[in-house]
Structure 1
Amino acid sequence: MAKAMLHFLPYALLLAAFVVACHGQERKVQIVYMGDRPQGGFSVASTHHSMLQRALGSTLSAKESLIYSYRKSFNGFAARLSDEEVAKLSEMEGVVSVIPNHKLKLHTTRSWDFMGFSKGQLGASIEGEVIIGVIDTGIWPESDSFNDKDFGPPPTKWKGVCQGPNFTCNNKLIGARFYNSEGEYDSSEFHSPRDSIGHGSHTASTAAGREVAASYFGLANGTARGGVPGARIAVYKVCWLSDCATADILAAFDDAIADGVDIISTSLGSDDPIQYLKDPIAIGSFHAMKNGILTSSSAGNSGPYPATVSNYAPWILTVAASTIDRRFTAKAVLGNGQVYSGFSINNFDLNGKSYPLIWGGDAANISKGASSEFAGDCVPNTLSSDKIEGKIVYCDSFSDGSDIRRAGGVGTIMVDFPTDVAFNYPLPSTQITIEDGQKILNYIRSTENPIATILVSDPEHDKDVMAPSIASFSSRGPNPLTPDILKPDLTAPGVDILAAWSPVAPPSETFYEDTRSVKYNIISGTSMSCPHVSGAAAYLKAAHPSWSAAAIKSALMTKRTEIN
């Protein structure tokens, strides 16, 4: 037996070496960054092709490899390259860095009024000269927030385009582009700038949406608007269900700068620190700043842990998230008369009717090998539909509710650490504290037929008198790369913000389980605080067209009263 193993060992080693060699030759999307756009009349694209031809060995391979040629606002290109080809290009003159095409993540009726930010003081003609470029998941162009009634033609400085198919711009939404370097699409996504996720429509309308009557199933009813309703919007779709590719982000910056935008808003970033010369948002925003364009970026949602802030380059305006004076809570009422309030954006009305209440641990799907411990946490695929159908399920930990809804549950009461942010769920839900959860569990165990109901959220009568305060999820400093430069720069409303939504995207996180459709949705994150600052920056740019990006950034960071 030992001799047989020794006999096959050389072949095994040869096979392993072959696998390693093939892996090294596998071509992946890489970004070759080359700094400023060179001066002179020669073709930048030809230079990129020539470099690729030298690295890959043939003109045809170079042509097939190239994905983007960044030549409008800075110099570089994206191409599919093997490790060996990356090494060759890294040694070539003019190459600053070679960056793998890693993925970044996506990080209002009352928020602007809460900030004391008045509307309409500049006038539509002045606001209409400002263009906000939104790099995100696209936009839903038919939303009332983006209608162009009474808008004149775009500013003469605008040089952008409106890409199709099945997508139309107007004099409010003046430009739209989309990018997908990896060619990865979900069946639910549009091959156009149209938003199938909702995030991009939300951020764009928060920054510059028109004044419209809006609510979320009747909750937060009022007038939704952006900070500068008269400003123009240009969208650059770089984010898909599979996240946001760095090669696409750089292509969007290259186009946005050349298109003529005045402010760039990016509600996305990396969970991990990235060196400035390998960070697409740092690189893109640097060249934007050189062209007089300020970039406003989200700080990330990894708080309250220290040194978690993203988008920390000195020239970026980095935005943390804070609360506003409106809270969304939903009360769980037990059969013994006890009432427990938790955070939830709950629009489902049970009309006061009580339903049987069960602990998830008592509904374990034993036939599938689920334990009481995991079922108690309502871990997906651990609950028995026979045991929870028609009941409200109490969970020992946070759950998105999708598994309970799928199994026929009526609602859920979840336990989590203290929080200050509410979420949407696909069924009646509330998220309570650990202490209150123990009391509910005691009730279940001490009562023969425990029952409960969950009430609809009532934000109009539940004010947060401590607002504004920094949201618990908002990423904290210090700056992980340059500790001497403080980050984030400032904060803005990022909790429970109502804004435009894509009607094909569900309002909750359960993307394939929630079949509801809404035109306006309430969500939280530094993604929501970022466009508030983008809108404020656009307002300043409209009022002071000659101000530089640095002057606008400084004014926003040092002004403590209303911006006039």
Structure 2
Amino acid sequence: MHKRKAKNHSPLAHSDARFQYRFLSQLKATLTRSAAINDSTAPVVVSFSSRGANDISKDILKPDISAPGVDILAAFSPVASISKVHGDTRSVKYSILSGTSMACPHATGAAAYVKSFHPKWSPAAIKSALMTTASPMNGNTTVFAYGAGHINPIKAVDPGLVYATQQGDYIKMLCSEGYNSTTLRLITGHKTTCPTSSTATKDLNYPSMTLSVKANSWITANFTRTVTNVVPMNSKYKVTFNPNSSLNITVSPSVLSFKSLGEKRTFIVTVEGAVKKGGPSGRLSATSIVWSDGAHNVRSPIVVYAS
């Protein structure tokens, strides 16, 4: 009678099993208590990220904001090549990616997060909330690298005040930049005409304030802005601003009082100074103003640069 050989019982298999057991039994691991390291320079915008200034509308600060975009675990097309090398047929569902295409979903998700708390807010109000609550950034970068700062979705839910830009504000701004009825209608999608009065780009009710000037020339400029109270309570906001050696900043009025939800207040920021050619900031002078009621800090960058 023939006996069937048992599977996986060859001398080689036994030898491998004994070796693996001896090897694994000798492995040791040491677990230590984790420690948090505070890097005061983080976050920093990476070298390959796009920079301003804005070549199209020079008096609008770009970028608006900074968001995580380096070494992000992201969904990946299962039909795309991992290495982009011809003949590479490997397929994955997720990959580690970097770039604006990774920062954009973070900003979009933050906007959706704010929208979930305030479903009736306009896109402009949400954008304002994200920009005015962003954290200022450090490192060897300029405001043309990070805009208003690093995104903070939790603070953006309760910004205190917002710059609620309306469609009409954009139309007036575009008309001041040379758009006509034909080009406007390509954007608005309906029969739009330029109003009799236009708004200078710098006076668009935007959460940042930017002005392009000639180098080595003394300038005096006013920025007009209107903020809307989004907190259902009485509040009084006082303005402060970071000192800047090359710019003199005044704000009128310096105190904004609100008694009800949705109430609006207008103020004017006056900037005086000169932007010198060259220098460590590359013909750039930047500061910011902050409206604070003790619970909310509504921060807006101010940028004057020689284009």
Asked if TM exceeds 0.5, the reply is no
Compare CA radii of gyration and give the structure with the larger one: 2
Could you state the TM-score of these two structures normalised by the residue count of structure 1? Answer: 0.17
More helix by share: 1
Could you state the TM-score of these two structures normalised by the residue count of structure 2? Answer: 0.31
